Amino acid sequence: MHLHAFLLLAASAKAIAGSSNHGNYSWPKHQAWVKDFQNLITFGDSRLGYFIAHNGSAPPVGTLLPESTSTPGGGITWDRWVSIYSGARLYDYAVSGAVCSNEIIYRYLASIFGPFPDVIYEVDAFVADTQYINASTHTNTLYTDRKSDNTVYSMWIGTNDLGADAFLTDSSLNGTTIPDYVDCIYDRFDQIYKAGGRYFVLMNTAPLQLSPLYGMPDAGGLPASHYWPDKPANLSGISNKMEEYTKLVNDIFSYRTPFELLVAKRYPGASIAIFDVNTLITNIYHNPTQYGIASPANVTGQYYLCDVATGSICTSQTSIGASHFLWYDELHPSQQTDEAIAHEFINVVKGTSKYATYW
């Protein structure tokens, strides 16, 4: 591409992005984004229990996993909160510890005898479920009312892709880079779109530099963790690099999404809302009680902490309770934070969220 043409394209993308702020320039803000929200289908990083309990085997095709509070956040996850408050049926394909692709980041888990299931697996499992036919009823008994206009598909992945044993520690495979991880996300949207998806919520990366695992030394940053036993001593450098990576990815999302929809015409008839979870959690960090964290709030520490050596000897700060914490452990948001995310996700679906940009 000639330099002049490239500059024109970049300027156009910037103008489009700047014109929308928090709202799609092409539809009225008072109009609901999804008018009949009946189903939420989620992909990303959530829970892992089924795989551990079944020696690494995936759930059978056509299986809706039951509700569980055994999660990395210590309770109800954000998507389950969305289901509770909105009444939408939840189909949760997210797996704790997941990355977008094991071909980019490979993280082995001994308890399942292989790598953490990735988002590629998750979306493949979803596609298989959409094609499932019950042998007794000769119908799809899992998806009984999935339509293009009543179903929202969310993607929240990046914590494990960007962190320790991944891009942060230069551990990606085959010379892959952060843009390869971003490509993986839009490639998964291709599959979901082909399977009938038309409303997507892309949740951007959290402010991981505020977490105890990647935080500054004077703001709760841990010198080591069972998630990262051999963490280098330069905590400030690690925190700054993590902030750089998350902001880089989020800026790519902001420009890549309108390009794919409006310029490349990659998803005709579809709409993508970018949910700025990064800013939301940052606001919770600075104003915790306004978002449901109990007073006195603790935003730099963690409620639940396991020993560095084995990760199996764990203690909880029961003297004040989990409801006072933004972070459940050194990496995962607490149930209270997840509840705040859920309330805003519902606003995203309604088309009224100040944390969303709609395309």
pLDDT (0 to 100) of residue 68: 66
Residue 74 is assigned to a structural domain of this protein: yes
Residue 350 is assigned to a structural domain of this protein: yes
Q: pTM, whole model, 2 decimals?
A: 0.90
pLDDT (0 to 100) of residue 7: 42
pLDDT (0 to 100) of residue 163: 97
- Label the pairing between strands 298-302 and 325-327: parallel
Residue 306 is assigned to a structural domain of this protein: no
Lookup: tokens for 262: 């409006």
pLDDT (0 to 100) of residue 323: 95
| pLDDT tens digits in sequence order for the chain, 359 residues long | 444 444 444 444 444 444 444 444 444 444 579 999 999 999 987 656 666 666 666 677 867 776 666 677 778 999 999 999 999 999 999 998 999 999 999 999 888 889 999 999 999 999 999 999 999 999 999 999 999 999 999 999 999 999 999 999 999 999 999 999 999 999 999 999 999 999 999 999 999 999 999 999 999 999 999 999 999 999 999 999 999 999 999 999 999 999 999 999 999 999 999 999 999 999 999 999 999 999 999 999 999 999 998 888 999 987 889 999 999 999 999 999 999 999 999 999 999 999 999 99
pLDDT (0 to 100) of residue 69: 66
For residue 87, the enclosing domain spans 34-134+144-288+337-358
Sheet holding 271-275, edge to edge: 89-92, 39-44, 151-156, 199-203, 271-275, 356-358
pLDDT (0 to 100) of residue 49: 66
- Rounded to the nearest 10 degrees, the angle between the axes of helix 335-350 and helix 78-86 is 50
What is the distance between the alpha carbons of residues 253 and 159, in angstroms, rounded to a whole number?
A: 15
What is the secondary structure of 46-65 as a DSSP string? ---HHHHHTTTPPPPTT--P
Residue 302 is assigned to a structural domain of this protein: no
Residue 8 is assigned to a structural domain of this protein: no
What is the total count of domains within the chain?
A: 1
- Cβ pair 187, 118 in contact under 8 A: no
What is the distance between the alpha carbons of residues 271 and 269, in angstroms, rounded to a whole number?
A: 7
Residue 328 is assigned to a structural domain of this protein: no
CATH of the domain at 256: 3.40.50
- Locus of tokens 């997210």: 94
pLDDT (0 to 100) of residue 60: 75
Residue 18 is assigned to a structural domain of this protein: no
The phi and psi torsions of 156 (rounded to 5 degrees) equal -135, 100
Residue 101 is assigned to a structural domain of this protein: yes
Continuous segment of H or E residues that includes residue 349: helix 335-350
pLDDT (0 to 100) of residue 112: 85
pLDDT (0 to 100) of residue 317: 86
CA distances to 23, 165, 222, 252, 324 from 337, in Å: 24, 26, 20, 25, 10
- The SS3 call for residue 202 is strand
What is the distance between the alpha carbons of residues 118 and 108, in angstroms, rounded to a whole number?
A: 11
